[in-house]
Amino acid sequence: EVQLVESGGGLVQAGGSLRLSCVASGFAFDDYHIGWFRQAPGKEREGVSYVKKWDRSTYYTDSAKGRFTISTDNAKNTVYLHMNNLKPEDTAVYYCAADASDWGYQFMKPNWDYWGQGTQVTVRS
Q: What is the pLDDT of residues 9-65, one digit of tens each?
A: 999 999 999 999 999 999 999 999 999 999 999 999 999 999 999 999 999 999 999
CA angle 28, 32, 34 (to 5 degrees): 120
Percentage of the chain surpassing pLDDT 70? 100
- Give the three-state DSSP class for 99: strand
Give bridge partners of residue 58 from the DSSP assignment. 51
The Cα 68–Cα 117 span in angstroms is 21
pLDDT at 10: 98
CA–CA separation, 116 and 27 (whole Å): 13
93: number of Cβ within 10 Å: 18
- DSSP character for 110? S
Question: Which CA distances in Å does 10 have to 25, 48, 73, 86?
Answer: 24, 18, 23, 12
The pLDDT tens digits for 97-122 are 999 999 999 999 999 999 999 999 99
CA gap 42, 30 in Å, rounded: 34
Q: What is the pLDDT of residue 71?
A: 98
